Structures are given as C-alpha cells and as structure tokens.
Amino acid sequence: MIAMNRIWAIYAPHHYRAHHTKRLAYALCALAWFLGITLISPMIVLDDIYRTRKSETCRLDDAAHPLYSIVARIFLNVPVFLIPIIYIILVIQLTARKKRQLKVRPNASGPNRVSQLPTLSAGNALPSISRGVQGTTPSSGSASRRHHSLKSLVVLAWIAFHTAIFWAPITFYHLLMLGSPKLISFSPSVYAWLATWNLSGYGFAPFIFLFTVLNSNTTRRATDGKLVRFATSGRA
C-alpha cells in the first residue's frame, strides 16, 4: 500500500494532490492492517488445530497441486514481489528526471550572454552563476525536490527492511517446500512460528506509514543533515 501510494504521487501528482488526504491515508492504513492480521491469524489457529487434532482439519497437498500452489503463493505474497519492482521503477524514474533537469539550462538566450555585454561596468556586471552556486546553498526549489526524492527513498528503505525481515522467511519456506517437496516437508511447528513472525510484522506497518509518509516534518528533521551534505557533495 505504501509503495502504491508513492507510485501514485510520482506518476499522477495532480490527481494525488486533489484526492489524497490524511483521512484517506489513515483509512487505508487501518484497512491494510486489519486485513493483514485477519487473513493471517486463521493460519496460526488452523495450524494449532492441525498439530493437536490432525483428524479434524484438512490441508491442501501442495505437492499434488504444484501449479495451483505456485499461483496461490504468488498472489498471497504480492507485496513481496511488488515492492522490489516498484523500488526499481522509482529509482529509474528519479534518475531519468535528474538527467532531464541537468540538460535544461537556465539561460535560454545563450550560454555566453554575459560575456557578450562588454559595455557593462564593473558595478553593474551580472554576478557569476557558477561562483554564486558554489558559494551559497542550493535554491529552495532544488532543495525541495531533493528532499522529496530522499524522503521517498527513506520510505522505500523502511518497506524493504520490513519485507526482508518479516515476509522473506515464510515466503522462502513456501518456495522451498514447493520446489523440493521430498526434501522439505510441511512442519506445523515451523510454519506456526513463521506465521506468527509474519503477523508480528504487521504491528510495525502503521508506524512506518505514519512516521515516514504522513509526518513529513519528522522525516525532514531526520534527513535535513543528509540533504545538505548530499547537495554540497553534488555541487562540488
């Protein structure tokens, strides 16, 4: 949800600004949190019943239905596959935008306009753009764009961290079990532990969303130092 929110903001900024509100963000955050916990909680309960009373529950044989199992696992773990793809798309988009901005020159009438005016006196001469840039901080518009890009990367870094820590174990377990069912069989205790670990990750999701997307002031204070250093090194 956070990744799609960022894609929405970058590729449709006017639509995003017109329709995205904090109330909508809170509602989507609460809905995703509720659905995640609701959908994964039965797995823990059913696995507990499977361990204690095996005759009273039924489980799909993944090895007997490999195609269905693979398709089901892919749709079940859409965030795991979607987030890296969106991360790559965003990096490509930001890189292309930066290259386009570097190609645009502020002096549209010619690069040597200042040198073509020899009649200007020393007191009325135009200041050197290169010296002014080197001696001052970046403009507010440039700093704002860099801050927006940096904040998006911070958000995606948190998402990638959350995905790697809480989603990767159970996903790799599914894939290994489907790829080599004879070597890795289903273990209720292992699966219950992985499902519980995955469920605990949902407890951190709302805080990641709130503090990195909604609370821009907190993100700005956390990244201002890095932004200044990044801008200074980029100008050097």
Output 4 or 72, whichever has higher pLDDT.
4
Residue identified by tokens 């195609």 is 67
**In terms of Cα–Cα distance, which of 90, 228, 58, 99 is closest to 157?**
90
| pLDDT of residue 144 exceeding 80 | no
Q: Are 47 and 188 in contact (CB under 8 A)?
A: yes
Predicted confidence (pLDDT) at residue 165 exceeds the cutoff of 50: yes
* Buried-exposed string 221-232: b where 16+ CB fall within 10 A, e elsewhere: eebeeebeebbe
The Cα–Cα gap between 96 and 102 comes to: 10
pLDDT tier for residue 229 given thresholds of 50, 70 and 90: very low
More confident: 54 or 38: 38
Top-confidence residue, 45 or 95: 95
Model pLDDT for residues 124-139, shown as the tens digit of each residue = 444 444 444 444 455 5
Q: What is the pLDDT of residue 131?
A: 43
Question: How many Cα atoms occupy the beta-carbon half-sphere of 156 within 13 Å?
Answer: 21
Residues 6+ apart with CB under 8 A from 125: 114
Residue 18 has a pLDDT of 85
In whole angstroms, what separates CA 162 from the centre of its chain? 10
Q: What is the mean pLDDT of residues 189-204?
A: 74
Pair of tokens at residue 77: 């773990």
Confidence of residue 234 (pLDDT cuts 50, 70, 90): very low
Q: What pLDDT is recorded for position 141?
A: 60
Q: How far apart are the first and last CA of the chain?
A: 38
Angle at 84 between CA 83 and CA 86, to 5 degrees: 65
- pLDDT digits 0-9 by tens, 52-107: 555 544 455 555 666 666 666 666 666 666 666 776 777 787 788 788 878 765 55
**What pLDDT is stored for residue 30 in this prediction?**
80
What pLDDT does residue 214 have?
Answer: 56
Distance (Å, whole) CA 31 – CA 24: 10
DSSP-H helix ranges across the chain: 2-11, 13-19, 22-52, 66-76, 78-103, 129-135, 140-162, 168-179, 188-201, 205-209, 216-235
Give the model's pLDDT for residue 159: 66
Instruction: State the amino acid at position 135 in one-letter form.
Output: G
* pLDDT of 236 over the 50 cut: no
**What pLDDT score was predicted for residue 33?**
75
Mean pLDDT of 180-196: 72
Residue spans of the domains in the chain: they are 2-102+138-235
- Predicted local confidence at residue 122, as pLDDT: 45
Mean pLDDT of the chain: 64
Check residue 228 and give its pLDDT: 42
Q: CA-based angle 89:206:90, to the nearest 5?
A: 10
pLDDT of residue 133: 43
Q: Are 64 and 130 in contact (CB under 8 A)?
A: no
Comparison of pLDDT for 161 and 197, the residue scoring more: 197
The C-alpha atoms of residue 49 and residue 184 are separated, in whole angstroms, by 21
